[in-house]
Structures are given as C-alpha cells and as structure tokens.
Structure 1
Amino acid sequence: MKFILFSAFCVVMAAAMPYDIVEDEDGQQFYAVPVSREKRQTQWGVNQAGAGISHTGNLFDNNNHRVDGTASAAKNWGSHGLRPDQVGGRLDYNHKPSGSSAFVGADNMRGYGTDVNAGVKYNIHQSKNLGVDLSGQYGRHYGGPGGTRDLGSSVFLNANGRF
C-alpha cells in the first residue's frame, strides 16, 4: 500500500511539471523538459566498521515548497564475520513561507527488521529576535528477532531568542 501511494505521488509530481511541445522542421513533435542544475551530494566512506554510500538531492522546489530525498546503503563487517547489509531512504518536506517541515524515513537491516521514523515541525512564531516551534517525532520497528515494537515518540516546544 505504501509503495502504491509513493508511486502515485511520483506520477502526480511528474504530471504537474511544465512541459512544452516543440516541433522540428519535419513536423516531429518533442517534449521540451526544463533543465535546471540542483546541488546533489554523494558521500561515501570506508572504515573498520564497514563501507557505506548515501546520495541526497532535491526532488521538487518552487517558491513555497521543497522536497529533498536521500538514499543510503552500507555493508558492515566486524570481528565475527559479515553482518547484514543496510539500506534506507528519507524524504524531507519544507514549507518555505512558514518554515514548517516534515520527514519520513526507513532503514532496513536484512534479518533484523526495518525502522520507520516520521516527524513534523510547526513554526509557531518567527521574528528577528524570537523563534518558537513545536516538533514531534514517532518511530516504529517492524520484523526481525525482536518483532514489531515502538521505538518511541516525542513532542518538543522549542524557543530561541536573541537579546
């Protein structure tokens, strides 16, 4: 079900993108897709615990909304041989005018289950000298030797000021 919702979201986002139809001298029509360069970031590393790679990039950005995505994979090794592979992903949403944001992410370790986390931040007040926001997060573990269980939830009221 989640895959179907995510796929539908991707199709809707692709359909909402502006496409221009251009025609060449022979009458053939082509879609002209606007191209813009966005900063993408790939990180990788190898150490005594294992090797990993992650890639972060912007999926959608306009004057009011921004969606970023991250995908990661890791191969762990230790003193007792190879451990399971890890894969994960995360989507981050930011509402630019209000400064509010949300995220959802999942990490799977083969044989040990999947951790799913989601969170939101609502910007209550923002001025030059004072910022107040309310944030919350929830996590749940699915499958693996320990079975399905809550990882925990939290709610915070954050304030910061300049005096």
Structure 2
Amino acid sequence: MKYFVLVATLLAVAVAMPFDIFEDEEGEQYYAVPVSREKRQTKWGATNTGFGVSHQGTILNSNNHQLDGSAYASKNWGSHGIKPDQFGGQLDYSHKPSGSSAFVGADRIPGYGTDVSAGLKQNLYQNKNFGVDVTGQYGRHFGGPGGTGKPQSGVFLNAHGTFKVERYKP
C-alpha cells in the first residue's frame, strides 16, 4: 500500500509539471523545469508530555498547480529509546484554475498501527458570493492490536456563501 501511494504521488507530480523542450545547434534536446524558491517552515517544541517537530512547505508552485507537503514526529518523555512515538505526513495538491484539490496522508504509532487517508474536492460552481463543491474522502486503519479496520469513506456536497447583512430601516 505504501509503495502504491509513493508511486502515485511521484507520477502525479511528474504529470503536473510543465516541461519546456529546447534544442541546441547539434540537435540535442533538453527540458527546462520551472524553479521557484518557496517558504518552508520548521517548528519544534516541548511540553510536559514530550517533544515534537514538524516541517511544512511548498514543493511545487506553478501558474496552475501547487503541491504542499508536511511531516511531523513526536516523542513522549517517559518512553524508552530514541525512535519517535508518533509520526506522519501529508501531501496536498491544488489545481488553481478549477479550485479542485486532493490530499493523501498517513499517521503511524508504532505498536498501534497506521491511519491512512485520502480525499478529493471538485468545485462545481463558484462566483463572487457563492460556491458549491463535492468532496470524497477515504480513511482506513491498518495493523495494531485491533487489526486492520474497515474502510471509512464518504461523499459530501458542500455549499458556501457570503451574505451581506444590513440593518432594516422602515
């Protein structure tokens, strides 16, 4: 399952990247990949229960596509060893012109299993004050003392709008 998610993610990034092909005087072809420096953010902190670190940033940002990623790990003070007690990450993809998006993520607690989730959102209608979209989500727990759980999934229709409130003047 983890290899499928990795391959699907890499394939999605490769397909989404706009390549420009150039040819030199000898007929040799090259492709140019747009490069942009994006802000990345690393956070860490300690509480009375443990220590945690997270990192997030934009992996790809072009005129039409954006791919963001995040990862985290945490360690409880009372646990033994140096391995993290919980870790995970998520990739978020956005298609800017359509407002559509997708995500895939996983959270793992060694000894208790892994939670995997994925989702898609398709914008059906959008104007200045009102929008409608459809969302599909999937999640499943793998491994741990309770074993692999049943898949949890759903499809949702969402509507959102901005309304102007004015005071009534008789």
Normalising by structure 2, report the TM-score. Answer: 0.74
Q: Secondary structure of the equivalent of 2:128?
A: coil
User: How far is the alpha carbon of 1:19 from its aligned partner?
Assistant: 9.4
**Correspondent of 1:82 among 79, 82, 107:** 79
- 2:29 match: none
Indicate the larger mover: 9-18 or 84-93: 9-18
Residue 36 (1) aligns with residue 33 (2): no
Q: Secondary structure of the equivalent of 2:85?
A: strand
User: How far is the alpha carbon of 1:149 from its aligned partner?
Assistant: 0.2
- Return the alpha-carbon distance in structure 2 between the equivalents of residues 101 and 35 of structure 1: 22
Structure 1 residues 121 and 10, CA gap change in structure 2 (3 angstroms): closer
When the two structures are aligned, how many residues end up with a matched partner? 152
Would you tell me which structure has more strand in proportion to its own residues? 1
- Return the alpha-carbon distance in structure 1 between the equivalents of residues 43 and 126 of structure 2: 33
Letter of the structure 1 residue corresponding to residue 60 of structure 2: F
Aligned pairs for 1:1-163 (under 5 A) are: 2-3=2-3, 6=6, 10=10, 13=14, 35-77=35-77, 81-82=78-79, 85-150=85-150, 152-163=152-163
Letter of the structure 2 residue corresponding to residue 139 of structure 1: G
- Return the alpha-carbon distance in structure 2 between the equivalents of residues 111 and 73 of structure 1: 15
Normalising by structure 1, report the TM-score. Answer: 0.77
Identity %: 60
Letter of the structure 1 residue corresponding to residue 101 of structure 2: S
Q: Secondary structure of the equivalent of 2:79?
A: strand
- The runs of 5 or more residues in structure 2 that have no matched partner are 23-31, 164-170
- 1:29 match: none
Contact kept in structure 2, 1:19 and 1:34, CA below 8 Å = no
User: How far is the alpha carbon of 1:17 from its aligned partner?
Assistant: 5.9
Indicate the larger mover: 44-53 or 115-124: 44-53
Letter of the structure 2 residue corresponding to residue 3 of structure 1: Y
Contact kept in structure 2, 1:124 and 1:133, CA below 8 Å = yes
User: How far is the alpha carbon of 1:6 from its aligned partner?
Assistant: 2.2
Structure 1 residues 124 and 8, CA gap change in structure 2 (3 angstroms): closer
